[in-house]
Amino acid sequence: MKKSDQEWMELTIFQVADVNCAMDILNIKEIIKHLEITRVHNAPPYIRGVASLRGEIITVVDVREKFGFEPIPLNEDMRIIVTSYKGENTGLLVDRVLDVHMVDTDAMEPLASNINGINRDFFSGIYKMESGLSAVLNTEALLQGELNEHIR
Amino acid sequence: MAMIEDDEIIRVFIEESTEHLDGIESDFLEIEKDGANMNVDLINKVFRAIHSVKGGAGFLGLDKIKELAHEMENLLNLMRNGELVPTPEIISILLSGNDKLNELITHYADSNEMDIAEEVVMLKGATTAALPEDEKDSVEIEEKICLPNGYHVFCAKKLELDQAQKAGRILYLAEFDLLRDIERKNKSPLDIIKEIQQAGQLVESKVDIAAVGTLDEQNNNMRIPFYVLFATVLEQDLVGKLINLDDSHIYYFNKERNIFPLSAANDAAEELAGNLNESEESSAPGTNIKQEKPEAAPPPPPAPENKEEKNAAPAGKTAPATPQKSTTAKTATGGAAKESHPTFVNETLRVNLKDLDTLMTLAGELVLTRNQLLQTRNQNDAKELENAIQRVDLITSELQEAIMATRMQPIGIVFNKFQRVVRDLSKKLNKKTELVIEGEGVEMDKTIIEAIGDPLTHLIRNSVDHGIEDVETRAAKGKSPTAILRLSALHEAGQVVIKVEDDGAGIDPERIKAKALENGFISAAELEEMSDNEIIKLIFRPGFSMAREVTDISGRGVGMDVVFSNLSKLGGTIDIQSKVDVGTTISIKLPLTLAIIPSLIVRVDEDRFALPQVNLVELVRVSAGQAANRIEKIDNAVVMRLRGALLPLIDLRQVLQGQGSGFTDLEEKNEATNIVVVNAGSFNYGIIVDDLLDSEEIVVKPLGLHLHHLETYAGATILGDGRAALILDIVGISKAMKLKPVKQKQEEEEKQLENLLGQKDSQSMLLLSNGHDEQFAIPLGLVSRIEKIRKEDLTETSGRRALKYRGGTLIVLAIEDVAPVKPRVETNSPYVVVFKYGGKEVGVVVSHIIDVVDFLTDIDEDTFRQPGIVGSSIIMDRITLLIDLYGLAAAAMPERLVELEEEVQRSSSHKKNTILIVEDSKFFLNQIKGFTEDAGYNVVTALDGVEGLERLEAMEKEIDLILTDIEMPNLDGIGFTREVRAKREFQDMPILALTSVAGEEAEKAALEVGIDEYLIKLDREKVLSNIENYLQNGRQN
C-alpha cells in the first residue's frame, strides 16, 4: 500500500456480504452502476461475466464468490468497482458501496486472523473506524488466486 | 564512443535502419543469382544501405552495430570495385552478417554487449582472402587521423581509408560546429551524416566533447566540434558548398594521406602562388594549425586515379587495434547502463497521405453530422433525425473502411522473406528449389500480415524438407532437377487465399496410415473407411509429425496441427491436396482483416453469441416432425443426415453447461430445431441453437486474463444494444467437445440414408420463386453454384441478359424467357443459379431461393409440360414446376445448340462413346441425358427394360455403357441387367444403376445380377466420373 511519506489516504468502503471492505481510492478507476453483465459459461465460478466499459470488454469478478459466500442475483445496490490488474481493467462486483473515508496510513493494523472465514491473504490490513472495522482488500491476491492454474 | 541516450534520435535511427535493411536480404539473393555478372547498381544500393546504418550507429555510439556494418561494407566495397565475385559462400557470410545486424538493431540497447565475434571473423576472413597479398594486413591496421596541428581526432581502418580513396574519390575531414552549423540550422548530426552519405562515402564521425575545454575559458566563440571523415569525387573547390560548411573547417588528404587545410588548397589553386593563408579562427579553441608533415607539398589537388598507392601514412599509423577498442570521447553520462533495455519493435506504420486526407474529411463530416444531430434533438423533428442518423451510418462505414485502408499492407512483405528461407534450406539439404512468388501485392491487415509469417514459414520448410526431393531422386523420377515451389496470394470472395504448391514427392497416404496406426491415432478399422484425402488431413491432428527423423529443419514434434490452430486463431481455414510424385498444394483462406468480422448472432436461452461468418457453412432448420428421422445417435455421438452425409452435431446449450456431448432430447421438443453448420477446418459440424438472430459486423475484443484459457470463445464483442456478447471459437468448441468427423464410406452413407428415410427416388431439390405464387424446383445435383448478385450488375445488351462476373461475362437466362410463367419480380439482390451447359456456365436468374428439400420424386409429367418445364410435383404443399435447365438453355440459346451438335458431329468422326440410358421418368431421363450429352457422350434412350433391350440389340456395336434405373414398368433394371448379362457379347458391358430403390438387399441383388455401380440419381459429378472410369478401364471383376 502507500508509503509513509503520504500520511493520509482516502479509502472507499464497500460491503460484500456482511464484511466491510476498503480499497485505496487511487486504485479505483471508476465505479459502475449499470450492471449489464454477460455471463460466460465454462468460466471459473468466481467470474460473474463480462461487461462493456466504453468499448472495452472487462472481466467482472464476483467478490462474494471469492470470499466463499453464495452469489446473489443482481440488485439495485450492487456496483462494479473497476481496478487495474496486470495492466487490464477488471471489475469487482460488490454488494454496495458505502462511503469514502480519510484515514491515517499508519493506523492500519495487520490482520490477526481470518475474517468470517475468508482467506486472510485477500486483505492487507484492517482499519478501525467509527462505523466499525474495514478490511483493506488486497486486489492482487484476490485476482491472482486461481489464475495460476489457468495460465499455463 | 559512449552510447548517446537521446531516445528520439535513436528511434529515428532505428526506424531508418530497419527500413534500409528491409529489402537487403532479397537483394543479396539477387546478387548471388547474378554471380560474376554483377549488377553494380544493386551492389551499390546494398552498400549504401549498410553504410547508412554504419554512419548513424557510429555517431550514436552503437559500436557493435557500427563494427559489423563496417565489416560488411568492406566486403561489399570489394565487390563493388570488382575485386571480388559474389559466390554463394560470400553471400552466406553476408546474409548471416545481415541477420546479426538486424538482431543488433532490434535489441539496440543491449547491442554493445552482444557477441558479434563469429560474424566479424567470417567477414574479415572473406575480405582478407579477397585482397591482394600486400593489402591483406590493411584489414586490421588502424591509422590515426590528426588535424594539421597534430590534434588526434580519431582512428580509422587503413583498409577503409584505402577503399575510400579509390575510384577518384578524395578524402576530406570536415569539422562542423554543433552549435553554429547544426543546432542553429535546426539540423541534427544525423542529418549531416545523411547529407554526406548522399554525396559520398562516410568513413568516421565523432562529436568531440573533449575539445570543448572548460567553461571558464572566456571564449565567446566556443565550438563543439563534430568531425566527419568522408570521401567524395567532388573536388576541393566544390566540397564546401556540398556540405554547406566554410572551407576553413575542411581539410583534405592527399593520396599519401597527409592532411591539408582546404582553404589553403583553394587559395593556392586560385593564386598558384602557394601562399599559405593561415586561417586561425578555423580551429577548435586552444588549437593552432601546425603543419605536422612539412615534407608534403600543399596545393595541387591530388591526382586521384592512382589506386595502387600503398605507402602507409607516415604519421598516423598505429599498431593493429582490437576491434573492441573504439575511439573514446567523454560524454557526460559515460555510457551508464540503462535501467530498461528497450527492444525495437516497429510500432509505426506508413500511411498513404491520400488515406489520411480521406480520414480527415470524414472526421469533418462526422463533426458536422453531430451538430446536425444535436440540433434535431432540440427541434424534435423526426424526419431530420432520420436523415442525420442515416448520415452517421454512412460516415461510420466510410470511416471504418478508410481506417482499415491505412492498416492494409501488401503480403509481399511476408512472402519475400521466404526467398532466403528456401535458399538456405535447399542448400543445406542439397536440393534445388525455385521459389515463385505470385500476388505479392495482395493487401491484408497488418495484424494478419504479422501473424501469418510463422505458419507460412512452417509450411514452406515442410515443403522443402519433406515435399521436394533431392536432385538425384528427381532425376530418377524424370522430373526437372529444379523443383518449383509456388507461393501465391489472391482475393476470393472477400477473403485472401494463400497457396503453397510444390511439385515434390507428395504425401503418401500409406505412410500416413502407417504412422497413424503406429502412434495409435486411429484404429485400422477407422482407417479402412477413410478416403485418401481424409487420411492426408490426419496431419492436422495434434501431435502428428511425419518427419522420418527429427531434423533441425522441421519435425520438432510440432507439426501441421500447430499451423492449423494458429491459422484458426486468425479466423483462417486450411486445406491440403496431395498426389504422390505430383506434388502437394496447401490452401489457406484468411479474412482480410481481424478487427471487424461479419458474424451471425445466435441465441441460447437469454445469452447471445457471435459466430464468425468465415466458419459458417449453412443454416439448417429441422422441423419437429423430421427431427426423429434426421437426427440420431451413432456410437454416443449425435449426428444429422444432411444430403447424404453424416454431420456430427452438438447442442450449444450443452457445450455451455460443460456437459460433454449430450444433447437435449429433440423428439420431445415441439418446435423446429435450428442448426448452424460450421466448418472447423478439416471437417464440418452442426451446432444446435435456440434461435438465429441477425447478421452483424462485430469488432473483436480480447477477453481478459481470467478467461483466456477458455476454449469455447475466441473473444468478445459489443452488440448494437451496448451489451457484451461472446464470440464462439468454432475450432475450440470442436476440440473441447472432442468432435470427430463421422467417417463412413459413401456407399454406406447412401444405404443408411435410404434406410433412414425409407424413401424411394428421393432427390435434393432447390426451391425457387420469382416473387409470385408459382414455385419452381431445380435438381440440386445439376447446380454448380448459387450467386447472390446486385440488381445493377445484371445488364441487358442486344436482347441478352449478362452478368459481369469473375472477370468475364455470364449469360443469364430467366425462366420466363422460355416457359409461359409470370415474369420475375425485380428485387435488389436477385439470385443467379449457375449450371453448366455445353461446357460453359450459364445462369438462371430468380427472385428468391426458398429452400433445399429432399422430396419424393413423384412427378406429374403431363399436366404442366411446357417448354422449359419438365413436369410438376407437390413440394411443401404447393404445386411446384420442375425446371428443365437444359431445355431452358437450349430454347433460349439455339445457337449454342447448333454449336453443340456441330461439335458432336465433328467429334463423332473420332470414336465417340455412346451411352444407353434406360429410365422411365421423363424428368430424370431429360436431366441425365442433358448432363451426359454435355459431357460429350452420344446418348440413346429407352423408357423401360424391354425398350432398352431392343435398343441394345439394334445398336449392339455402338453402345459402350448402360445407365439404368431400377424401378421401371414392364421390365425393371434388375431384370434388364440379367437379360443383358445373359448374352455373351455383353459380358464386358459396364452397367451402372441409378438408384432409387433403397436398401442393402436391393443393392446386393443388383450387384449379383451384374450391375457394376450403384449411384445416386442426378449426382452429376459422381455419375460422370464413374462413366469415365468405366469407359476407360472397363469392368473390374
pLDDT tens readout for residues B527-572? 777 777 778 877 777 666 555 444 444 443 346 777 777 777 776 7
- Whether B334 is in a domain gets the answer no
Distance of alpha carbon B87 from alpha carbon B245, whole angstroms: 42
Q: What is the mean pLDDT of residues B157-163?
A: 74
pLDDT of residue B298: 43
> Measured at the alpha carbon of residue B550, what is the angle toward residues B546 and B553, in degrees to the nearest 5?
95
Query: In this structure, are residues B355 and B408 in contact, taking their beta carbons and an 8 Å threshold?
Result: no
Distance of alpha carbon B228 from alpha carbon B669, whole angstroms: 86
- For the record, the C-alpha cell of B976 comes out as 434388364
Annotate B355-404 with DSSP letters as a single string. HHHHHHHHHHHHHHHHHHHHHHHHHT-HHHHHHHHHHHHHHHHHHHHHHH
Of B707, B716, B725, the CB nearest to A47: B707
Exposure b/e, B543-572, CB count within 10 A at least 16 = b? ebbbeeeeeebbbeeebbbbbbbbbbebbb
pLDDT of residue B960: 85
- In the three-class reduction of DSSP (H, G, I as helix; E, B as strand; rest coil), residue B142 is classed as strand
pLDDT of residue B249: 77
Query: Do residues B573 and B607 share a domain?
Result: no
Distance of alpha carbon B770 from alpha carbon B53, whole angstroms: 68
Query: In this structure, are residues B487 and B437 in contact, taking their beta carbons and an 8 Å threshold?
Result: yes
pLDDT of residue B555: 40
Cα distance from A66 to chain B (closest Cα, Å)? Answer: 13
Identify all chain A residues contacting B713, using CB atoms and an 8 Å cutoff: 40
- Label the pairing between strands B645-651 and B637-642: antiparallel
Query: Do residues B205 and B309 share a domain?
Result: yes
Distance of alpha carbon B262 from alpha carbon B247, whole angstroms: 6
- In the three-class reduction of DSSP (H, G, I as helix; E, B as strand; rest coil), residue B136 is classed as helix
* Binary contact (B703, A51; C-beta < 8 A): no
Check if A45 contacts B (Cβ < 8 Å): no
Distance of alpha carbon B759 from alpha carbon B112, whole angstroms: 80
Regarding predicted confidence, which is higher, B850 or A1?
A: B850
Check if A115 contacts B (Cβ < 8 Å): no
Query: Do residues B582 and B613 share a domain?
Result: no
* Residue B431 main-chain phi, psi, to 5 deg: -125, 160
Identify all chain A residues contacting B652, using CB atoms and an 8 Å cutoff: none
* Binary contact (B722, A41; C-beta < 8 A): no
User: 3-state DSSP: chain A helix, strand, coil percent, rounded to 5?
Assistant: 15, 50, 35
pLDDT of residue B726: 93
Of B657, B658, B704, the CB nearest to A58: B704
Please say if the pLDDT value at position B300 is more than 50: no
Q: What is the mean pLDDT of residues B772-781?
A: 81
CA closest to A144 among chain B residues? B706
- The DSSP letter of residue B506 is -
Residue with cell string 462413346: B913
Number of domains, chain B:
7
Query: Do residues B729 and B754 share a domain?
Result: no
Distance of alpha carbon B576 from alpha carbon B563, whole angstroms: 12
- For the record, the C-alpha cell of B568 comes out as 484458426
Distance of alpha carbon B165 from alpha carbon B607, whole angstroms: 77
Q: Identify any residues that bridge with A99 across adjacent strands, giving them in sequence order.
A: A13
- In the three-class reduction of DSSP (H, G, I as helix; E, B as strand; rest coil), residue B611 is classed as strand
pLDDT above 70 as % of chain B: 77
pLDDT in tens, B635-646: 667 888 777 677
Q: How confident is the model at residue A147 (pLDDT cuts 50, 70, 90)?
A: low
Residue with cell string 522441421: B554
Q: Which residues 570-609 in chain B show a CB within 8 A of chain A? A: 607
Distance of alpha carbon B44 from alpha carbon A7, whole angstroms: 66
* Residue B683 main-chain phi, psi, to 5 deg: -155, 170
**Residue B368: domain span:** 353-408
| Cβ partners under 8 Å of residue B334, min gap 6 | B2
Check if A92 contacts B (Cβ < 8 Å): no
Distance of alpha carbon B176 from alpha carbon A28, whole angstroms: 54
Please say if the pLDDT value at position A61 is more than 70: yes
- Count CB pairs under 8 A between chains A and B: 79
Exposure b/e, B59-96, CB count within 10 A at least 16 = b? bbbbbbbbbbbbbbbbbbbbbbeeebebeeebbbbbbe
Of A44, A57, A147, the CB nearest to B703: A57
Please say if the pLDDT value at position A128 is more than 50: yes
User: Where residue B1020 sits, what CATH number does that domain have?
Assistant: 3.40.50.2300
Regarding predicted confidence, which is higher, B289 or B271?
A: B271
CA closest to B701 among chain A residues? A57
- In the three-class reduction of DSSP (H, G, I as helix; E, B as strand; rest coil), residue B963 is classed as strand
Query: Do residues B761 and B826 share a domain?
Result: yes
- In the three-class reduction of DSSP (H, G, I as helix; E, B as strand; rest coil), residue B888 is classed as helix
- Whether B1013 is in a domain gets the answer yes
* Binary contact (A52, B723; C-beta < 8 A): yes
pLDDT in tens, B374-412: 888 777 778 888 888 888 888 888 888 888 888 888 888
* Binary contact (A50, B702; C-beta < 8 A): no
- In the three-class reduction of DSSP (H, G, I as helix; E, B as strand; rest coil), residue B433 is classed as strand
Regarding predicted confidence, which is higher, A70 or B985?
A: A70
pLDDT of residue A14: 93
- Whether B897 is in a domain gets the answer no
Find the farthest-apart pair of alpha carbons in chain B and give their distance in angstroms, rounded. Answer: 127
Check if B737 contacts A (Cβ < 8 Å): no
Q: How confident is the model at residue B725 (pLDDT cuts 50, 70, 90)?
A: very high
Query: In this structure, are residues A81 and A89 in contact, taking their beta carbons and an 8 Å threshold?
Result: no
Residue B441: alpha-carbon gap to chain centroid: 10
Query: Do residues B827 and B935 share a domain?
Result: no
Select from B717, B744, B771 the last residue of a domain: B744
Distance of alpha carbon B695 from alpha carbon B693, whole angstroms: 7
User: Where residue B7 sits, what CATH number does that domain have?
Assistant: 1.20.120.160
Query: Do residues B1016 and B971 share a domain?
Result: yes
From the list B759, B761, B780, B765, the residue with the least C-alpha distance to B630 is B759
Q: Is this model's pTM higher than 0.95 or not?
A: no
pLDDT of residue B899: 66
Please say if the pLDDT value at position B138 is more than 70: no
pLDDT of residue B929: 82
Query: Do residues B639 and B558 share a domain?
Result: no
pLDDT in tens, B334-378: 333 334 455 555 567 777 788 888 899 899 988 988 888 888 877
Query: Do residues B664 and B584 share a domain?
Result: no
pLDDT in tens, B681-721: 667 889 999 889 888 888 888 888 888 788 888 888 888 78
Please say if the pLDDT value at position B285 is more than 50: no
Identify all chain B residues contacting A49, using CB atoms and an 8 Å cutoff: 724
Q: What is the mean pLDDT of residues B909-936?
A: 77
pLDDT of residue B222: 65
pLDDT of residue B551: 44
pLDDT of residue B278: 42
pLDDT in tens, B863-886: 777 777 877 887 777 788 888 887
Distinct helix (H) and strand (E) counts, chain B: 32, 41
Distance of alpha carbon B1012 from alpha carbon B1007, whole angstroms: 7
CATH level 2 (architecture), domain A8-147: Beta Barrel (2.40)
Please say if the pLDDT value at position B845 is more than 70: yes
Distance of alpha carbon B1028 from alpha carbon B91, whole angstroms: 53
* Residue B467 main-chain phi, psi, to 5 deg: -75, -55
pLDDT in tens, B45-92: 888 888 878 877 877 778 888 888 888 888 888 887 777 788 888 888
pLDDT of residue B334: 38
From the list B481, B480, B499, B726, the residue with the least C-alpha distance to B602 is B726
* Residue B761 main-chain phi, psi, to 5 deg: 50, 50
Beta strands in B481-547 (DSSP E): 483-492, 495-502
pLDDT of residue B781: 73
pLDDT of residue B549: 42
Identify all chain B residues contacting A42, using CB atoms and an 8 Å cutoff: 655-656, 658, 710, 712
Query: In this structure, are residues A6 and A122 in contact, taking their beta carbons and an 8 Å threshold?
Result: no
- For the record, the C-alpha cell of B736 comes out as 473441447
Please say if the pLDDT value at position B755 is more than 50: no
Q: Identify any residues that bridge with B942 across adjacent strands, giving them in sequence order.
A: B918
Domain boundary assignment for chain A = 8-147
Distance of alpha carbon B152 from alpha carbon A142, whole angstroms: 64
- For the record, the C-alpha cell of B584 comes out as 502437394
pLDDT in tens, A41-52: 888 889 999 998
Regarding predicted confidence, which is higher, B9 or B747?
A: B9
Identify all chain A residues contacting B716, using CB atoms and an 8 Å cutoff: 38, 50, 57
- Whether B339 is in a domain gets the answer no
Query: Residue A55: how many CB atoms within 10 A of its CB?
Result: 9
Task: Give residue B562's identity as a one-letter amino acid code.
Answer: V
pLDDT of residue B345: 59
- For the record, the C-alpha cell of B898 comes out as 447448333
Please say if the pLDDT value at position B672 is more than 50: yes
- Whether B900 is in a domain gets the answer no
From the list B561, B371, B553, the residue with the least C-alpha distance to B461 is B553
Query: Do residues B583 and B547 share a domain?
Result: yes
Please say if the pLDDT value at position B581 is more than 60: yes
- Whether B901 is in a domain gets the answer no
| Cβ partners under 8 Å of residue B899, min gap 6 | B838
Check if A56 contacts B (Cβ < 8 Å): yes
From the list B746, B752, B757, B755, the residue with the least C-alpha distance to B1013 is B746
pLDDT of residue B292: 40
From the list B705, B606, B604, the residue with the least C-alpha distance to A43 is B705
Regarding predicted confidence, which is higher, B119 or B565?
A: B119
pLDDT of residue B572: 75
* Binary contact (A150, B724; C-beta < 8 A): no
Select from B110, B130, B150 the last residue of a domain: B130
Please say if the pLDDT value at position B912 is more than 50: yes
Cα distance from A41 to chain B (closest Cα, Å)? Answer: 5
- The DSSP letter of residue B465 is I
Query: Do residues B564 and B703 share a domain?
Result: no
Check if A61 contacts B (Cβ < 8 Å): yes
Q: What is the mean pLDDT of chain B?
A: 75
| Cβ partners under 8 Å of residue B326, min gap 6 | B1, B63
Distance of alpha carbon B1006 from alpha carbon B976, whole angstroms: 11
pLDDT in tens, B991-1000: 888 875 555 6
Q: What is the mean pLDDT of residues B304-322?
A: 40
| Cβ partners under 8 Å of residue B72, min gap 6 | B50, B94, B97, B98, B101, B123
Distance of alpha carbon B272 from alpha carbon A22, whole angstroms: 91
| Cβ partners under 8 Å of residue B792, min gap 6 | none
Cα distance from B697 to chain A (closest Cα, Å)? Answer: 15
Identify all chain B residues contacting A143, using CB atoms and an 8 Å cutoff: 706
Query: Do residues B662 and B721 share a domain?
Result: yes
pLDDT in tens, B449-505: 888 888 888 888 888 888 888 888 888 888 888 888 899 988 776 678 899 998 888
Check if B657 contacts A (Cβ < 8 Å): yes
* Binary contact (A150, B722; C-beta < 8 A): no
Q: What is the mean pLDDT of residues A75-96?
A: 91
Q: What is the 3-class SS of A19-71, one letter each residue?
A: EEEEEEHHHEEEEECCCCCECCCCCCCCEEEEEEECCEEEEEEEHHHHHCCCC
Please say if the pLDDT value at position B215 is more than 60: no
* Binary contact (B718, A57; C-beta < 8 A): yes
pLDDT of residue B670: 65
Query: In this structure, are residues B958 and B912 in contact, taking their beta carbons and an 8 Å threshold?
Result: no
Residue A130: alpha-carbon gap to chain centroid: 21
From the list A24, A47, A44, A30, the residue with the least C-alpha distance to A123 is A24
Regarding predicted confidence, which is higher, B749 or B357?
A: B357
Distance of alpha carbon B429 from alpha carbon B460, whole angstroms: 14
* Binary contact (A55, B718; C-beta < 8 A): yes
Determine the straight-line distance between the first and last CA of chain A, rounded to whole angstroms. Answer: 29
